[in-house]
Amino acid sequence: MHKQQSFPFFAAEGRMHIILSLALAIVMQLFAGTSVALPFWLLAVFVLQFFRDPPRTVPDGEGEIVCPAHGKVVFTGVVKDPYLERNALKISIFMNVFSVHSNFTPYAGIIQKIWYNSGKFLNAALDKASEENERNAIWIRTSDGQDIVFIQIAGLVARRILCHVVEGEKVDRGQRYGFIRFGSRVDVYLPETARSTVSIGDSVMSGNDIIGQLNAMT
Distance CA 153, CA 148 (A): 16
> Residue 19 belongs to what domain range?
12-50
Mean pLDDT of the chain: 86
Q: 46-96 pLDDT, tens per residue?
A: 888 778 888 888 888 889 999 999 999 999 999 999 999 999 999 999 988
CB 151 within 8 A of CB 81: no
The CATH number that applies at residue 160 is 2.70.70
18 falls in which pLDDT band (50, 70, 90)?
confident
Using only C-alpha atoms, the chain has a radius of gyration, in whole angstroms, of 18
Does 17 map to a domain? yes
Instruction: Look at 3 and 42; give whichever has higher pLDDT.
Output: 42
Q: For residue 155, which of 170, 134, 136, 172 has the smallest C-alpha distance?
A: 134
In a shared domain, residues 160 and 76: yes
Q: Supply the pLDDT for residue 102.
A: 87
Q: Supply the pLDDT for residue 125.
A: 52
In a shared domain, residues 186 and 81: yes
Distances (CA, A) of 168 to 37, 113, 171, 183: 49, 8, 9, 29
Query: What mean pLDDT comes out for the span 4-17?
Result: 71
Non-local CB neighbours of 141 within 8 Å, separated by 6+ positions: 109, 110, 112, 147, 148
Does 55 map to a domain? no
4 falls in which pLDDT band (50, 70, 90)?
low
List 99, 102, 130, 184, catalytic entry: 184
Q: Supply the pLDDT for residue 129.
A: 52
Q: 130-142 pLDDT, tens per residue?
A: 566 788 999 999 9
Sheet holding 210-213, edge to edge: 64-66, 210-213, 195-196
Q: Structural domain tally of the chain?
A: 2
6 falls in which pLDDT band (50, 70, 90)?
low
In a shared domain, residues 84 and 187: yes
Beta bridge partners of 87: 80
Q: 174-183 pLDDT, tens per residue?
A: 999 998 876 6
Q: Supply the pLDDT for residue 71.
A: 92
Distances (CA, A) of 112 to 129, 138, 143: 24, 8, 12
Q: Is 196 a catalytic residue?
A: no
Does 1 map to a domain? no
Check whether 211 has a pLDDT greater than 90: yes
